[in-house]
C-alpha cells in the first residue's frame, strides 16, 4: 500500500486535497492507459446490469465476489505463483527519450557540457532529448506529482524543501524515470555508442524493464568501516527504464522516509539537514539505488537475489526483467572493479566527472593525518596501509595526537602556499604570452597598413591535393 507522509502544520500546498480525491487521482497514465485508483466499486460496476431474478442477498454479494475473483486471477498465473505483471511496466518498448538535469538550459551550456550533450544527440538522432534545469525542475515535479498528476503532495513538499543540490539531483532523476522512462544520463557523461547498444542482441527488449550497469564491484571490502557501505553498487549516472516501474516509486518513497528520519535525528527541518559523503551515497545515491533494485528483483523472482549474482560478471545478465551490464558498459576506466578502458567493445559511455564536485559540500571521511581512504581507489595494499596507519595513530596518547595533527596542519598550509604561488606564476606566464601575441599582431597590422590587398591576403588553399 502506498505510504503518504504527513505534512508539517506550516506546509502550504494549494489547493488542499481531500483523502478521497487523493486516492482518485493517485496515479494517471498517458494515452488512455488504465488509471490506478480509478477502478469503479463493485456496486458502480454492475449498477447498469438489469435484475434477472437473483435473490436480493445474492445480488448484494455478487459484485464483491466477482471483483474478488478478478483480483485473484490478476494475482495468480496458471501455476498459482505470483504474477510478474505486478512488478513490470505495461509498455513493451523503452521510450525513445534521453534525459539530463543541469543548472542551466542547453543554450547556456559551457563548451564541455555542450560537447558531451551533443554526443547523445548525434548518436541517437531518432530520440527526443530534454534537459530539466534549476529553473523548471519544480514545475515538472508539481505537474506530475501534484493534484493533476499522481497527487502526492508529500513528495512535492519534500522536493520544495530540499536545499541539498545532490539530493535533489538524485531524487529528480528517479522521478523522471518513473514518469517518463527512457535513458537518464548525467551532464558530464559522453555517449560512445548508440542507445540501441544498451541491449545486446541476445536479449529481447520486450523481456526487459530496466537496464543498469555495474559501477563498483569490490565485495572484499564489505566489512571496511569506511568503504563497506559503497563497495557493491550499480551505476546511476546512466541507466534506462520503462515508465511507471514500481521500483522507481519505491526508491522515491525510501528517500522520503530517510529524509524525514534524518531531519528528526538532527532535530531540524529537511531544508536544514547536513549530510556527509557516505550519507548521500547510502541515502539517495548508488547504494540506495542498488538496494532498491536488488529488493525489487527478489520480489519479481520470488527468491533472494544478492550481489553474488553480479560479482565478476563477464557478460550481461537478465534477472527479474532487469538487465545488468558488465562494469565496462557504463563505468569503464575507473582503475578498479576490473573496469577495463573506454576502448573496450562493451564500453557504451565515458564519465568525465567534471560535474561531480558535490563532495566539496558533503565531504568524505578525512583523517587529520592520513587523509581519505578513497584516494586508494580500492587498491588492497593502499587500503591496508591506511588502516594500519590510522590504527597506530588511534593508539597514541592524546598529547601526541594533538602534536602530530598540528605538524600536519602546518605542512598542509605550506603545501597550499606553494600551490598558490605556482598557480600565480603560471597565470603570469600565460598573461605575458597573451601580451606578446597581442604586440605581434599589432606589429603585423602596422607593417601591412597601406599595402595592396593582394599582398596582405594569404594565398588560397588548393583542396584538390
What residue spans define the domains of the chain?
97-360, 396-428
Q: Cell numbers of 154, please?
A: 508529500
Q: What is the pLDDT of residue 367?
A: 96
Helices marked H in 267-324:
277-283, 286-301
**CA–CA separation, 2 and 107 (whole Å):** 39
Q: Which of 28-42, 65-79, 133-147, 426-440 is predicted most confidently?
A: 133-147
Mean pLDDT is lowest, of 23-32, 90-99, 253-262, for 23-32
Whether the CB-CB separation of 367 and 378 falls below 8 Å is answered with: no
Mean pLDDT for the stretch of residues 298-312: 97
Whether the CB-CB separation of 194 and 124 falls below 8 Å is answered with: yes
Residue 393: enclosing H or E segment and its boundaries?
helix 380-394
Mean pLDDT for the stretch of residues 168-176: 98
**CA–CA separation, 118 and 125 (whole Å):** 10
Nearest to 225 by CA among 404, 393, 364, 396: 364
Query: Does residue 454 or residue 343 have the better pLDDT?
Result: 343
Fold designation for 97-360: Spore Coat Polysaccharide Biosynthesis Protein SpsA; Chain A (3.90.550)
Confidence of residue 39 (pLDDT cuts 50, 70, 90): very low
Residue 31: pLDDT over 50: no
Percent of the chain with pLDDT over 90: 69
Confidence of residue 461 (pLDDT cuts 50, 70, 90): low
Confidence of residue 316 (pLDDT cuts 50, 70, 90): very high
Q: Angle of helix 246-266 relative to helix 286-301, nearest 10 degrees?
A: 130
**CA–CA separation, 118 and 95 (whole Å):** 19
Q: What is the pLDDT of residue 464?
A: 53
**CA–CA separation, 322 and 204 (whole Å):** 12
Residue 301: pLDDT over 90: yes
- C-alpha triplet 331, 182, 191: angle, nearest 5°: 40
Contacts of 404-408 with C-beta under 8 Å, sequence gap 24+, read 404/369, 405/368, 405/369, 408/368, 408/369
Beta-carbon contacts of 364 under 8 Å, excluding residues fewer than 6 positions away, are: 276, 277, 278, 372, 374
Neighbour-count burial for 380-390, b at 16+ CB within 10 Å, e otherwise: eeebeebbeeb
pLDDT in tens, 52-62: 444 555 456 66
Q: What is the pLDDT of residue 446?
A: 79
Residue 131: pLDDT over 70: yes
Q: Cell numbers of 363, please?
A: 565531504
Residue 465: pLDDT over 90: no
**CA–CA separation, 402 and 413 (whole Å):** 17
pLDDT in tens, 211-229: 999 999 999 999 999 999 9
pTM across the whole model? 0.75
Mean pLDDT for the stretch of residues 227-238: 97
CA distances from 114 to 20, 99, 131, 189, 315 (A): 46, 14, 12, 11, 32
CA distances from 33 to 189, 228, 302 (A): 34, 43, 28
**CA–CA separation, 215 and 224 (whole Å):** 18
Q: What is the pLDDT of residue 444?
A: 81
Residue 12: pLDDT over 90: no
Confidence of residue 193 (pLDDT cuts 50, 70, 90): very high
Q: What is the pLDDT of residue 2?
A: 55
Nearest to 212 by CA among 277, 281, 286, 282: 286
Collapsed DSSP state (helix, strand, coil) of residue 322: strand
Mean pLDDT is lowest, of 123-127, 193-197, 422-426, for 422-426
Confidence of residue 443 (pLDDT cuts 50, 70, 90): confident
Strands (E), 56-136: 97-102, 128-133
Q: Cell numbers of 7, please?
A: 505534512
Nearest to 219 by CA among 380, 21, 27, 72: 380
DSSP one-letter string for 189-253: EEESS-GGGGS-TTS-GGG-SEEEEEEEE-GGGTT-TTTGGGSEEE--SEEEE-TT-HHHHHHHH
**CA–CA separation, 133 and 121 (whole Å):** 18
Mean pLDDT for the stretch of residues 373-389: 97
Of the chain, the end-to-end C-alpha distance in Å amounts to 72
Q: What is the pLDDT of residue 341?
A: 96
Mean pLDDT for the stretch of residues 352-373: 92
Beta-carbon contacts of 4 under 8 Å, excluding residues fewer than 6 positions away, are: 22, 152, 154
Residue 115: pLDDT over 70: yes
Q: What is the pLDDT of residue 37?
A: 37
Q: What is the pLDDT of residue 452?
A: 67
Q: What is the pLDDT of residue 69?
A: 61
Mean residue pLDDT of the chain comes to 85
Residue 261: enclosing H or E segment and its boundaries?
helix 246-266
Amino acid at each position: 500500500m502506498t505510504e503518504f507522509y504527513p505534512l508539517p502544520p506550516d506546509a502550504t500546498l494549494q489547493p488542499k486535497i481531500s483523502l478521497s480525491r487523493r486516492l482518485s487521482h493517485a496515479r494517471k497514465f498517458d494515452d488512455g492507459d488504465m488509471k490506478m485508483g480509478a477502478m469503479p466499486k463493485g456496486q458502480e460496476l454492475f449498477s447498469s446490469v438489469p435484475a434477472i431474478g437473483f435473490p436480493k442477498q445474492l445480488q448484494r454479494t455478487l459484485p464483491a465476489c466477482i471483483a474478488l475473483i478478478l483480483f485473484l486471477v490478476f494475482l495468480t498465473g496458471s501455476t498459482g505463483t505470483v504474477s510478474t505483471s505486478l512488478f513490470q511496466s505495461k509498455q513493451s518498448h523503452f521510450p525513445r527519450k534521453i534525459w539530463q538535469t543541469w543548472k542551466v538550459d542547453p543554450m547556456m551550456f559551457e563548451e564541455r557540457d555542450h560537447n558531451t550533450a551533443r554526443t547523445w544527440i548525434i548518436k541517437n538522432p531518432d530520440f527526443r532529448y530534454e534537459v530539466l534545469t534549476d529553473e523548471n525542475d519544480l514545475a515538472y515535479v508539481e505537474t506530475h506529482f501534484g493534484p493533476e498528476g499522481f497527487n502526492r503532495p508529500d513528495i512535492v513538499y519534500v522536493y520544495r524543501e530540499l536545499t541539498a543540490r545532490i539530493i535533489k539531483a538524485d531524487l529528480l532523476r528517479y522521478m523522471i524515470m518513473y514518469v517518463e522512462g527512457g535513458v537518464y544520463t548525467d551532464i558530464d557523461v559522453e555517449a560512445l555508442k548508440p542507445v540501441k547498444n544498451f541491449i545486446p542482441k541476445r536479449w529481447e527488449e520486450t523481456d526487459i524493464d530496466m537496464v543498469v550497469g555495474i559501477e563498483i564491484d569490490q565485495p572484499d571490502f564489505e566489512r571496511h568501516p569506511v568503504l563497506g557501505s559503497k563497495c557493491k553498487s550499480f551505476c546511476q549516472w546512466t541507466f534506462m527504464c520503462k515508465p511507471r516501474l514500481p521500483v522507481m516509486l519505491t526508491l522515491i518513497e525510501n528517500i522520503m522516509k530517510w529524509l524525514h528520519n534524518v531531519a528528526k535525528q538532527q532535530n531540524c527541518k529537511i531544508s536544514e539537514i547536513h549530510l556527509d559523503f557516505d550519507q548521500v551515497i547510502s541515502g539517495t545515491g548508488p547504494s540506495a539505488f542498488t538496494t532498491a533494485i536488488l529488493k525489487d528483483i527478489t520480489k519479481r523472482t520470488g527468491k533472494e537475489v544478492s550481489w553474488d549474482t553480479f560479482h565478476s560478471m563477464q557478460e550481461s545478465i537478465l534477472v527479474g526483467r532487469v538487465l545488468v551490464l558488465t562494469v565496462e558498459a557504463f563505468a569503464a576506466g575507473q582503475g578498479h572493479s576490473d573496469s577495463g578502458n573506454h576502448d573496450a567493445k562493451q564500453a557504451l559511455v565515458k564519465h568525465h566527472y567534471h560535474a561531480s564536485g558535490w563532495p566539496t559540500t558533503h565531504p568524505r571521511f578525512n583523517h587529520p593525518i592520513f587523509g581519505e581512504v578513497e584516494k586508494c581507489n580500492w587498491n588492497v595494499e593502499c587500503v591496508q596501509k591506511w588502516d594500519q596507519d590510522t590504527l597506530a595513530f588511534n593508539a597514541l596518547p592524546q598529547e601526541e595526537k594533538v602534536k602530530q595533527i598540528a605538524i600536519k596542519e602546518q605542512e598542509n598550509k605550506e603545501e597550499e602556499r606553494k600551490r598558490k604561488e605556482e598557480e600565480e606564476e603560471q597565470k603570469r606566464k600565460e598573461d605575458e604570452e597573451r601580451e606578446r601575441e597581442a604586440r605581434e599582431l599589432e606589429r603585423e597590422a602596422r607593417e601591412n597598413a597601406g599595402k595592396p590587398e593582394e599582398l596582405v591576403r594569404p594565398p588560397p588553399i588548393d583542396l584538390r591535393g
